[in-house]
Chains A and B, each alone.
Chain A
Amino acid sequence: MKKIAPPKFALDFLRWYCREDYIEEIEGDLTELFENQLASAPKKANWTFFWLVLRHFRPDFIKPISIPNLFIHQAMFKNHFKIAWRHIFKKKLYSFINITGLGVGMACCILILLYVKHELSYDQYHTNLHSIYRVLHAYKSQGEKGKPTNPEDYQVWGSAPVGPALIKDFPEVESYFRFTSPSNWLFEYEDKRFQEDNIVFADSNAFEMFSWKMIAGDPATALDEPYSIVLTEKVAKKFFGEEDPIGKTLREGETAIKVTGVMENVPANSHFTFDGLVSMSTFRDFRPGIFDSWGYVDFYTYFILQENASIANLKSKTSEFVDRYTGDWEDSDYEITFEPMADAYLHSEAARQPGETGSIANLTIFSSVALFILLIACINFINLSTSRSLERAKEVGIRKVVGARRYTLIGQFLSEFILLSLFAAALAMVLVVLLSPVLQDISGKPISYKSLLVWENLPIATGVILLIGLLAGSYPALLLSRFQPTKVLKGAFKSSGGGIALRKGLVVFQFSLSIALMVGTAVVFSQLQYLRNHDLGFDQEQMVIVDFAWDSEVKRQMDAIKQTYLSNPDVVSIASSRAVPGGFLPNAGTYIEAPDGTKTMYSPTIYEIDQDFISNYKIELAAGRSFSRDFPMDSAQALMINEAAAKMWGYSNPEDIVGKEFDQWGKSGTVIGVVKDFNYKSLHKSVEPLSLRYDPRSLRKFSIKINSKDIPKTIAELEKTWDELVPHRPFLYSFLDDSFNKQYQADNRFGQIFGVFACIAILIACLGLFGLTAYTTSQRTKEIGIRKVLGASVGNIVALLSIGFLKLFFIALLIAIPLSWYVMTRWLEGFAYQVGLRVELFALAGIGTLSIALLTISWQSIKAALANPVKSLKSE
């Protein structure tokens, strides 16, 4: 009969805690009682047994905690450490490769982490961050009415009355705050003048809503009165030096503005920044009408939602809200929605942002690339350690014979790898300190490694070092500790056996990544090159832009200034306009007669220019004529459009739209000409419909086309003339191609960072390859010696050593090409004008990587092939 045993878990528990010298008696007695009870009350037997086991869980029977063991461990650790230390210094090359690779990988990760941390820190300093929302507006023309609104159709820029209306209609909205887009101010203080172009009008509750710190003045009332301004620290210092700015009066033309406060500079990690706030009541005084106009767009509206209120609930009520105020709009449609301020920097897709925005996609790409680099470094580590396992085999054998258990050996190897990872971390820290200025340069963000130097990071750093040591070391440690002493010590153990396939796989993986990164870099740079060389449809070479900020004096003397400048032999032509290509343009509701005779409204962008603009920029005409001095009524009754606009109104032939009637922003007349499409915005987008009108009152910037061999001299002459003509206004100039290309700054950065990464990845991969070939060739020195003796040439031997690698390389190529093709196609989708993924790019990246890799291999293989066979064969 089979005996029923007591419950296993209770028995295991007993055996686990009970002292060795008592287990026999106690377990025996308990089992006997269990068996007795089984006969009388079988149902309760299990429970009784467990209960009795529990009752024995008392100090008398519990195993003593083995303190002496700890001392043994300590001694063992010491020994492990010593062996590891010796090993690291004995094999300097391998240690160097491992430490450098891992260190560079870690440094990359840390730098990227710093960057990511900075990007994620945007606006986090606001205490109200999570209850602040902003209003997004969608202005749709008649044609778009009823179509669903995409996230990117919204814009942050909107009208003034939205805020007050929200407060009035929704009790859950606690307060609202508006500010305008920056305007230019030419301040005068005593005899000094300062041009400031990042001053905004702001509602008086700015400091209640946002956590900006006031240094002087009362934050609650500073922006109440009309004609008061709060300056940031840097501007205040520039204006007043060491004087106390509070109460001082600045003058802008006829207007006097009182300084009522000084605030700390707006932190760099804010999604919008400014240099000063002028009270909104000032703006109301300037232009009272627009504060009730739902159609005048110049405000960013933020609001605080009450606790417990639901934003989703609020969103559901927006359509009836806008209907209440703008339901009478006949020819256009207006929608609003809300966006949490926490999403403003990284997650907003809306247009017309108040400041620059980040890209969560780029952050993801960078982080994954940094991780890949660390992975490549870890792979080096695994590859080198496994390939060299043979060298350690004897050591393992002897240790096992002497009595080491497998887990102590694993512990030994792991502590060696963790020590290496510690060295690597030290190197990484040095690299981070050295390279953080470079990161600042590339990213354009004030990122410092100093934020890493806090105590809280110590456990994290320790954890990461341990983790990387474990990650890189666990496979080699398992492999090494598996050796069987009899085999190893008998000498029957010739090759490192296991791990060859894995090693090859890892090399393929490394090179796939490297090639993919190379392709990525090549595509990014060729795309940027393509953008720079793309024919924009207008002349941007040697174009000097002078900003006079709508100065009325300049506008009055417009023709005289032009004439004076034209008398300079270096000046080819001169024009003025509200904006220059690359700059911001508003949209304007425009009616033009459609082919069927009805007037249809669309909202093309609007370019306000003078009569010389078209010829100055060498923009070609597709039909009709340009603005001209011969037609004095052009400023009132004429409109020019581009081909895209002509198409939008339904004219496939631009000739046909010339002469049609138009109606736009208070002007009406006929369309006089059509220009060919030119890229007045970045090449991320295709040319959008555009209207051009001659409006002498809206002009703001001169565009001076020069033809000069000595540009600095010409600029000096232009400045001298300017100071004579317009002594009250500073000469602020820039070059069009510089400012136009600024639109690609983010893309440039992306390219640079990508390029740096690609180089590092290849460097590390090659380090690994170098170590690997150094090892394999050293394993085969005898073979090479014999081959040479038998007549092999140097070429033969180099080929022999490289052919295995070439196979791996081609497999890597097969993996990398589709991968990078897919990723880069997605990236290029962000541009309307794409360079196209040509075969050359892949070939270039492939050949580049291959030649670097071959160079790395040949260093070792040629050395081996050239070695005198006598040397390698005489010893044995």
Chain B
Amino acid sequence: MKEPSLGEFEELVLLTVAAQHDEAYGVSILESLEDQLGKKLNISAIHVALKRMDDKGFVKSRFGGITSDRGGRRKKFYIITALGKRKLDQQYALRTRIYNQIPKISFG
């Protein structure tokens, strides 16, 4: 079976999920990414990315405890799976390999 692919935005979200290990949920991912990228994002894009990666098996999720915040709704925490981690590693390796092929040119 062909291994599922990882889109660019998905990759960013997946990186954030991995970085916030076991504490990543919709709003925290949104805030972190907005911080990192320095621009506004829409939460729906993050939800879509999370849902698709869930379907592809890159992340798994669990519900947190009930609080009085969030209209009584529980947080859904995401955690990266082994498959997801391997995919990130592959992407990282790929990028690094290609990056290393860049001749040492000075733009100075």
Contacts and interface: CB of A to CB of B under 8 A. Distances in A.
Contacts of A503: none
Contact of A58 (B25, B48, B68, B75): B48
B43 A6 contact: no
Nearest to B78: A25
Contacts of B48: 58, 60
A28 B42 contact: no
Interface string B28-54: 001000000000001110011001100
A25 B26 contact: yes
B2 to A, nearest CB: 22
Interface residues of A, number: 22
Contact of B70 (A31, A55, A56): A31
A24 B62 CA distance: 12
A128 to B, nearest CB: 63
Interface residues of B, number: 20
B76 interface: yes
Given A24-B63, A29-B26, A33-B27, A60 B51 contact: yes
Nearest to A56: B44
A332 B30 CA distance: 98
A31 B42 contact: no
A763 interface: no
Interface string B51-89: 110000000000100001111011110000000000000
Contact of A52 (B43, B63, B75): B43
A60 B45 CA distance: 11
Contacts of B43: 29-30, 33, 52, 55
Main DSSP-derived SS at the B contact region: helix
Contact of B47 (A3, A5, A31, A61): A61
A22 B51 contact: yes
A285 B42 CA distance: 94
A49 to B, nearest CB: 11
Nearest to B47: A26
A10 to B, nearest CB: 12
B42 A55 contact: yes
B16 to A, nearest CB: 14
B64 to A, nearest CB: 9
B4 to A, nearest CB: 16
Contacts of A29: 25-27, 30, 43, 47, 70
A58 B51 CA distance: 12
B70 A32 contact: yes
B44 A28 contact: no
Interface centre among A6, A22, A24 (most CB of B within 10 A): A24
Interface string A9-52: 00000000000001011111111110110000000000000001
A565 B27 CA distance: 119
Contact of A24 (B30, B52, B69, B76): B76
Given A24-B74, A52-B42, A32 B69 contact: yes
Nearest to B51: A60
A33 B42 CA distance: 11
A43 to B, nearest CB: 18
A791 to B, nearest CB: 74
Interface string B15-27: 0000000000111
Contacts of B51: 22, 60-61
Contacts of B71: 5-6, 27-28, 31
Contacts of A5: 71
A33 B70 CA distance: 9
Nearest to A57: B44
A39 to B, nearest CB: 12
Nearest to A53: B44
A61 B43 CA distance: 13
A30 B69 CA distance: 11
Interface centre among B25, B26, B52, B73 (most CB of A within 10 A): B73
Nearest to B26: A29
Contacts of A26: 26, 47
A518 to B, nearest CB: 68
Interface centre among B25, B44, B68 (most CB of A within 10 A): B44
Contacts of B70: 28-29, 31-32, 35
Contacts of A31: 69-71, 73
A551 B19 CA distance: 121
Contacts of A3: 68
Contacts of B74: 24, 28
B76 A25 contact: yes
Contacts of B47: 22, 25-26, 29, 56, 60-61
Nearest to B29: A29
A36 B30 CA distance: 13
21 contacts: A5-B71, A22-B51, A24-B74, A25-B25, A25-B76, A26-B47, A28-B75, A29-B27, A31-B69, A31-B70, A31-B71, A31-B73, A32-B69, A32-B70, A33-B30, A33-B43, A52-B43, A52-B44, A60-B48, A60-B51, A61-B51
Given A22-B51, A32-B70, 19 more contacts: A3-B68, A22-B47, A24-B74, A25-B25, A25-B26, A25-B73, A25-B76, A28-B75, A29-B27, A29-B30, A29-B43, A31-B69, A32-B27, A33-B27, A35-B69, A55-B42, A56-B44, A60-B48, A61-B51
Closest 7 CB pairs of A and B: A28-B73, A29-B26, A25-B76, A55-B44, A31-B71, A28-B70, A32-B70
